[in-house]
């Protein structure tokens, strides 16, 4: 079992280590390691297309993570009071949304959005006069944020519900006995207990949204996210610049993980 575990970890982390190592390659080809250099990091950071794609992915990921955390937490709290066949139905819908392949979600979201836009845009055109250009709904930031929010919200619901199931209900009942309002009970009793799950859901949603390629490829429209840019760059050939981009994304993810762990440890100490 030890050898099997070591082999699994090597299979997972050795390719990541190779990407980090070859991001410092001074040569022009990713497969030929000539020497150590950090020039590809500077080239990636000075590339306007990379920075624009990074900004787009960051805006989408933060927006989707915030929305999915808020709506997923509210949905998890509401579903705790559901019993019987309705509970089974909602549980099934939540887990099915997680198991559906990304390409199916991307195609379904694209078809749904295009259909809605075709119905709403003519109505909007009739509400404005001929002298004023009517607003027109199209694919872009909003469509990607909506698709990522719906996909990642299920992850938040699962995490928060697992935390709620192990929560001490006696504290909530004591708060109600002391005539605390529902909002005060939630803010002072419920939220501190489920906060680790909410934070984990936020970070997981951010990671899924930031790294997503399939869904964003279908509904991004004219916007280019960082995974889409990397995919287009790989089709022209793999360079150390792509490895540098991947290493920086890995560094951002690890930084967020460390920050979350520090915040949770300080909260537990208090």
Is 234 within a domain? yes
Is 33 within a domain? no
Angle between helices 2-22 and 240-269 (to 10 degrees): 120
Is 180 within a domain? yes
3-state DSSP assignment of residue 36: strand
Is 25 within a domain? no
pLDDT at res. 119: 87
pTM, to two decimals: 0.82
Answer whether residue 14 shows pLDDT above 70: yes
**Domain of 211: which CATH number?**
1.10.3720.10
* DSSP 8-state class, residue 28: S
Q: Average pLDDT, whole number, for the chain?
A: 82
pLDDT, average across residues 85-106: 82
- Residue 25: φ, ψ to 5°: -75, 135
Answer whether residue 156 shows pLDDT above 70: yes
What does the alpha-carbon distance between residue 213 and residue 265 come to, in Å, rounded to a whole number?
33
- Give the up-direction half-sphere exposure of residue 162: CA atoms within 13 A in the CB hemisphere: 11
Phi-psi region at 47: left, alpha or beta (left = phi > 0; alpha = psi -120 to 50): beta
Is 163 within a domain? yes
What does the alpha-carbon distance between residue 267 and residue 167 come to, in Å, rounded to a whole number?
17
* DSSP 8-state class, residue 178: T
- List Cβ neighbours of 235 (8 Å cut-off, separation of 6 or more): none
pLDDT at res. 60: 92
Which tokens hold the place of 84? Answer: 């019987």
Domain count, the chain: 1
| Segments forming the whole domain that contains residue 67 | 50-269
Angle between helices 48-79 and 226-235 (to 10 degrees): 130
What does the alpha-carbon distance between residue 29 and residue 43 come to, in Å, rounded to a whole number?
14
């Amino acid at each position: 079992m030890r050898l099997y575990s070591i082999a699994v970890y090597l299979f997972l982390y050795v390719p990541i280590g190779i990407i980090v190592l070859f991001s410092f390659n001074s040569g022009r080809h990713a497969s030929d390691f000539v020497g150590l250099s950090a020039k590809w990091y500077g080239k990636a950071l000075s590339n306007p297309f990379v920075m624009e794609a990074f900004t787009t992915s960051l805006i989408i990921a933060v927006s989707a993570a915030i929305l999915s955390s808020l709506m997923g937490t509210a949905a998890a709290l509401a579903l705790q009071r559901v019993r019987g066949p309705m509970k089974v139905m909602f549980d099934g819908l939540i887990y099915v949304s997680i198991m559906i392949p990304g390409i199916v979600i991307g195609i379904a979201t694209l078809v749904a959005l295009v259909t809605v836009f075709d119905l709403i845009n003519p109505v909007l055109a009739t509400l404005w006069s001929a002298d004023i250009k009517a607003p027109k709904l199209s694919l872009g930031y909003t469509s990607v944020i909506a698709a990522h929010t719906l996909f990642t919200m299920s992850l938040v619901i699962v995490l928060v519900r697992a935390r709620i199931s192990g929560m001490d209900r006696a504290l909530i009942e004591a708060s109600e006995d002391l005539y605390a309002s529902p909002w005060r009970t939630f803010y002072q009793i419920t939220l501190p207990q489920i906060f680790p799950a909410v934070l984990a859901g936020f970070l997981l949603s951010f990671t899924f949204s930031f790294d997503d390629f399939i869904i964003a490829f279908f509904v991004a429209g004219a916007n280019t996210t960082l995974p889409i840019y990397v995919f287009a760059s790989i089709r022209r050939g793999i360079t150390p610049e792509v490895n540098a981009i991947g290493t920086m994304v890995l560094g951002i993810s690890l930084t967020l993980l460390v920050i979350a762990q520090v915040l949770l440890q300080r909260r537990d100490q208090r």
